[in-house]
Amino acid sequence: MKVSIVGVTGYSGLELIRYLRQHPKVEIVSIHSHSMHKKSISDINPHLKNIISLPLEEFNAEKIMEGSDLVFFATPSGISKELVQPFVTAEFPIIDLSGDFRLTSGGTYERWYGKTSAPLDLVKKFEYGLAECRKNPKAIWIANPGCYATATELTFAPLLENKLIQLDSMIIDGKSGLSGAGKGLSQTTHFTETNENMSVYKLNQHQHIPEIIQQFKVWAPEIEAIQFSTSLIPVTRGIFLTSYVKASQSISTEQLIDVFKKYYQGKKFIRIQPENQFPELKQVVGSNYCDIGVTYNQTTNIISLVTVIDNLGKGAAGQAVQNLNIMAGFPEELGLNAVPLYP
């Protein structure tokens, strides 16, 4: 299978290269960047020397469709929505890692991203690519979920589908490493400002909130709101999510673990932790795993959950490759068997 990557110089694009280079059935045939064409990717990214030496090319839909079987967009929000039309017209497979094709209800993209949405009928052609919960495995246009959204939805899916929680009590306290802020330069990503620091950056305002609520409504249509905070911690990779929610019925930690194990049975990338054990961020870095620990506090009737993913792996490129595998009919794990980089 031959693929092209558009927007390859950002962190998600580079991570796509990392995963795809290990995929036994996929070959990267062209890579595209609006800013630095002509140069070789390994000149700009010396870690890729002797590994991949394709030149950075200008975007050209026709050439991509001629040479490839699928195109990844790893562009910032607002780009792919301007570029996908020729691929859709030609029924050519797309996996989009940006937020451009995730929000299906009118005005939502505008409000949270501050940009004009793609036409909603075009958006609706895209399948939301939460890999463990995909509806239509044959979909050829995939809106790959956001990193926070992936972690949050995988955390609450078993609770919502099994109707175990009070819907107005969900509190999600998310923390992200700095690669989540992208390669752009700002005070927020300056080492001296960030190192030895922690800061809230979007309280009740993160653009993944509507994405999460939209997906939650699939499982529990009466949901109206969630409490969602996001902080930066001084690490490069990873999302660490602590969630709190009131149980709607009598339950125990043991029962909760059973619910999660059953829900994710056969899903190799979701690893439910044993009782009294919570995942550490580092145990998933560099991989496509999502590890979840859960406990119930009888005194407060609160279920606490700890969820960890690599924001560039399961939260972006890893899940995108998993979606490619689903689309192509490959085993879901193909090319994704990298052991997390511990220590």
Residue positions annotated with a catalytic role: 147
**Residue of 50, 89, 250, 265 interacting with a copy of itself (CB under 8 A):** 50
Query: 325 φ, ψ to 5°?
Result: -60, -45
Using CA atoms of 314, 211, 28, 341 in order, give the dihedral in degrees to the nearest 10. Answer: -20
Show contacts with a copy of itself in window 170-209 (CB under 8 A): 171, 173, 175, 177-179, 181, 183, 185-187, 189-200, 203-204
DSSP state of 118: P
CA 33 – CA 6 distance, rounded (Å) = 6
Smallest separation, CB 248 to a copy of itself (Å): 15
Residue 266 makes CB contacts below 8 A (sequence gap 6+) with none
Place of tokens 């809230």: 200
Smallest separation, CB 274 to a copy of itself (Å): 8
- Cβ proximity to a copy of itself, 123 vs 239, nearer residue: 239
Show contacts with a copy of itself in window 257-316 (CB under 8 A): 268, 271, 273, 277-287, 289, 291, 293, 295, 297, 299-300, 302, 304, 306
Q: What burial class does residue 332 get, using C-beta atoms within 10 Å of its C-beta: 0-12 exposed, 13-18 middle, 19+ buried?
A: middle
HSE-up of residue 148 (Cα within 13 Å, Cβ side)? 27
Show contacts with a copy of itself in window 5-34 (CB under 8 A): 11, 14, 17-18, 21-22
Stretch that binds a copy of itself, among 66-74, 76-84, 128-136, 334-342 (CB under 8 A): 334-342
Smallest separation, CB 295 to a copy of itself (Å): 6
- Cβ proximity to a copy of itself, 6 vs 172, nearer residue: 172
Show contacts with a copy of itself in window 216-245 (CB under 8 A): 224-227, 229, 231, 233-238, 240, 242, 244
Spatial strand order of the sheet with 70-73 comes to 56-57, 27-32, 2-6, 70-73, 94-96, 141-143, 127-128
Stretch that binds a copy of itself, among 47-55, 111-119, 149-157, 324-332 (CB under 8 A): 47-55
- Cβ proximity to a copy of itself, 81 vs 206, nearer residue: 206
- Cβ proximity to a copy of itself, 60 vs 301, nearer residue: 301
Smallest separation, CB 339 to a copy of itself (Å): 4
CA 43 – CA 144 distance, rounded (Å) = 29
Smallest separation, CB 334 to a copy of itself (Å): 13
- Cβ proximity to a copy of itself, 66 vs 193, nearer residue: 193
Distances (CA, A) of 68 to 10, 62, 64, 316, 334: 21, 10, 6, 21, 19
Q: Rule CB under 8 A: is residue 36 a binding residue for a copy of itself?
A: no
Stretch 127-166: interaction string toward a copy of itself, x if CB under 8 A = ----------------------------------------
Nearest by Cα to 216 from 303, 132, 292, 157:
157
Q: What burial class does residue 331 get, using C-beta atoms within 10 Å of its C-beta: 0-12 exposed, 13-18 middle, 19+ buried?
A: exposed
Q: What burial class does residue 328 get, using C-beta atoms within 10 Å of its C-beta: 0-12 exposed, 13-18 middle, 19+ buried?
A: middle
- Judge contact between 243 and 172, C-beta under 8 A: yes
Smallest separation, CB 257 to a copy of itself (Å): 14
